[in-house]
Amino acid sequence: MESPAVTKFREYIRIKSVHPKPDYDSAVAFLDQYGKDIGLEVHHVEVSGGGYTNIVVIMTWKGKNPNLCSVLLHSHTDVVPVYEDQWKCDAFAAIKDENGDIYGRGTQDMKCVGIQYLEAIRRLKKEGKQFERDIHLTFMPDEEIGGICGIRPFVKTKEFADMNVGFALDEGLAHPENKYSVFYGERGLWWIRIKCEGNPGHGSRFIENTAAEKMRKIVNKMLDFREKEKLRLEANNTCLLGDVTTVNLTKLEGGLAYNIVPADLTVGFDIRIAPTINLKEFENQVATWCKEAGDGVTYSFVQKNDDQTLTPHDKSDPWWNAFSTACEEIGVELSLEVFPAGTDSKLYREAGYPAIGFSPMRNTPILLHDHNEFLNEKIFMEGIDAYCKIIPALANVPEY
């Protein structure tokens, strides 16, 4: 017989909170009723960004000492689109196969975690527990599009300030081995646009100093650097993706016709910078490459994140000590990592709040944003057990 927690998880997956038109209304209604059924205080904060508004759902379980800073359990409600023809079943049907694998967009990223929080709290409340610190749960929109109308305006609200957050948990990744991945930081995100100007003319001639010649030099420099970082990752067994810098060419723009040599061409790169990299030196390197490519080569940033804040992760930190000690009691080895992409927790760190990325999914392939995303129901239920250890440990961190 299926656990009611699994049933709720599958119900959440069936809500099509998928971009570009996420059904946030249904998600909010589902979460409102869920929180009230458990006995949590539920309220909304309206945020604005990108020319529209969204609702952030906040649930609160009051602690014994409201003067202490609170614990925040964060998740997001939105999911990325799917290629329907690449899925073996409806990505929003939450089909469960004979092995207990539940298929659906958001099973790993990250509707599982939102439900695990709630079901752990349901269990703890049934046991009559109450902890020293307030516990808040946030269900955030728009994480998958950069928090435009989600985390970015939310952290600037009075309502968030009033929550008096001391420490936050957010999403992580599955681990294919018998470990839990734990993320204490993220790589910096730079989207760079490089414009190359050159001599135009007829496509039948050998024109000197063209935009294409300059662009080739830039592309070669960038991809040579990419290859060095790739080899560095492959050569070191202890090196993880978050420890190196990735560069990918993602956009090419320019040209008027096949028989006209263009006066300018533009190339765009997605660069994820490891926190060990000196950002000023790296930008100077990009500027040097542009200068070496020739006159009329300039760069600009479409997005530039320079924050390299890392959450403390040694036993001297009371939050890390509580979290890691609880994990030791669970008996699962932790893999300490830098998150290779981006999550809402980066915005919490930037605002001065320590945050850990953690999704309790071991022995599970990493399938976020991938075809046939799934999570096994036993792994899902095990995650609830994990939070039943971790949440009390964090919520009882003594005053310091």
CA distance 103 to 84: 13
Q: Is 369 assigned to a binding site?
A: yes
- Separation of alpha carbons 91 and 4, rounded Å: 21
Q: Which of 159, 133, 158 is nearest to 58 (CA)?
A: 159
| Strand-strand pairing, 95-96 and 101-103 | antiparallel
- In DSSP terms, which residues pair with 387 in a beta bridge? none
Give the full edge-to-edge strand order of the sheet including 246-254.
Answer: 246-254, 264-273, 188-197, 297-304
Question: For residues 369 and 11, what is the distance between their CA atoms, to the nearest angstrom?
Answer: 20
Tell me the catalytic residues.
78, 143
Write down the pLDDT at residue 129: 96
Is 41 assigned to a binding site? no
| Token code pair at residue 218 | 């830039």
Question: Torsions phi, psi of 345, nearest 5?
Answer: -60, -25
Residues of the chain with pLDDT under 50: none
Q: Residue 92 in contact with residue 18, Cβ under 8 Å? A: yes
* Closest alpha carbon to 87 in 326, 373, 352, 393: 373
Separation between Cα atoms, residue 120 and residue 74, nearest integer Å: 14
305-336: per-residue pLDDT in tens?
Answer: 999 999 999 999 999 999 999 999 999 999 99
Give the pair of three-digit tokens for residue 365: 């392939």
What pLDDT shows up at residue 62?
98
Angle at 139 between CA 163 and CA 96, to 5 degrees: 150
pLDDT in tens, 4-53: 999 999 999 999 999 999 999 999 999 999 999 999 999 999 999 999 99
Q: Is 98 annotated as a binding residue?
A: no
pLDDT for res 286 = 98
Residue 43 assigned as binding residue: no
DSSP 398: P
Q: Between β-strands 333-339 and 179-186, what pairing exists: parallel, antiparallel or unpaired?
A: parallel
Crossing angle of helices 318-330 and 377-395, in 10° steps, is 140
Alpha-carbon 390 to chain mean position: 21
Domains of the chain: 4-186+310-395 (3.40.630.10), 188-274+276-304 (3.30.70.360)
CA angle 344, 269, 75 (to 5 degrees): 10
171 is in an annotated binding site: yes
d(CA 104, CA 90): 7
Q: How many CA atoms lie within 13 A of 77 on its CB side?
A: 31
Helix (H) or strand (E) holding 111: helix 111-126
Give all strands (DSSP E) within 204-342, no chain letters. Answer: 246-254, 260-261, 264-273, 297-304, 333-339
pLDDT at 61: 98
9 Cα distance to chain centroid: 20
